[in-house]
Chains A and B, each alone.
Chain A
Amino acid sequence: DADVTQTPRNRITKTGKRIMLECSQTKGHDRMYWYRQDPGLGLRLIYYSFDVKDINKGEISDGYSVSRQAQAKFSLSLESAIPNQTALYFCANQAGPVDEQYFGPGTRLTVT
């Protein structure tokens, strides 16, 4: 969806490096999410935020941290990247609890 942007779209980094993935949305939604997608495993929730002061761990938060800089911006950081964090990362946003989630175009991250 053009209302959700993710940067970078592709990134290759080395083991041990710190990397930040950024997500920005223009829909004005309070709820934002970070997922990772691995082949055959579906989408797994890393972190989520229901407003600027609210940050919650998902099912696979180890090795990741997030920052909600504003209603529109939600960043994901890998403090010390490792090869098994190689994946496709999506951010999403949502207006309310029973509304659709709008996904960004994804960031393909490779850790060598």
Chain B
Amino acid sequence: QQPVQSPQAVILREGEDAVINCSSSKALYSVHWYRQKHGEAPVFLMILLKGGEQKGHDKISASFNEKKQQSSLYLTASQLSYSGTYFCGTEMAGANSKLTFGKGITLSVRP
């Protein structure tokens, strides 16, 4: 079951904040977040685990609502370098670590 990411696209000015979301209809064990710049490979941002553990970059903030099976990524004081496509990958309970990725959210930060 592919997770649903919202909104589809975000346009920001430098310094503005944004929240992007990832939702699943299935019970999740973990949510992974990656950012991909045009023509490049996806790069890891954050892992959020059931039970509250998080692993990732200190400057990235995210949450995982286990009741709603929803994760949110918080981008504060955005910089030009935040531009790219953000993918969430969800791991269902018992899925043996396989990730199912969403379609991605395109985020553009303008000067």
State the A residues within 8 Å of B (CB): 1, 31, 35, 40-45, 48, 50, 58-59, 90, 94, 97-106
Q: Mark B20-47, 1 if CB is under 8 A from A, else 0.
A: 0000000000101010000011111001
**Alpha-carbon gap, A103 to B103, bound state (A):** 17
Q: Determine which of A41, A50, A59, A106 lies in contact with B100 in the assembled complex, contact meaning CB atoms within 8 Å.
A: A59
User: B40, B87, B100: which contacts A45 (Cβ < 8 A)?
Assistant: B100
| Complex: chain B residue closest to A44, CB-CB | B101
Contact of A98 among B30, B41, B102, B103 (CB under 8 A): B30
Contact for B2 among A1, A40, A42, A99, CB less than 8 A = A42
* B residues in contact with A48, CB < 8 Å: 98
A105 near B41: Cβ-Cβ < 8 Å: yes
Q: Nearest Cβ in chain A — how far from B51, in angstroms? A: 11
Do A31 and B100 contact each other (CB < 8 Å), given the known contacts A90-B42, A100-B47, A101-B32? no
B49 touches which of A31, A98, A105 (Cβ 8 Å): A98
CB-defined contacts of A35 to chain B, threshold 8 Å: 101
B residues 66-109 in Cβ contact with A at 8 Å:
87, 89, 96-104
Q: Is the CB of A43 within 8 A of B41?
A: no
Interface residues on B, range: 20 to 34
Kindly list 12 other residue pairs between chains A and B, CB separation below 8 angstroms, not including A59-B100, A98-B55. Answer: A40-B103, A41-B103, A44-B101, A45-B100, A48-B98, A90-B41, A97-B96, A100-B32, A101-B34, A101-B99, A103-B34, A105-B41
Give the residue of B30, B42, B96 whose beta carbon is less than 8 angstroms from that of A103: B42
Complex interface: chain A residues within 8 A of B104 (CB): 42
Bound complex: CA A10 to CA B17 (Å)? 37
Complex interface: chain B residues within 8 A of A45 (CB): 98-100
Query: CA separation between A1 and B87, bound complex, in Å?
Result: 18
Q: How far is the CB of A87 from chain B (nearest CB, A)?
A: 14
Tell me if A42 and B32 are in contact (CB < 8 A). Answer: no
Bound CA span A104–B100, Å = 18
Contact B102 A97 (CB under 8 A): no
Q: Which residues of B contact A90 (CB under 8 A)?
A: 41-42
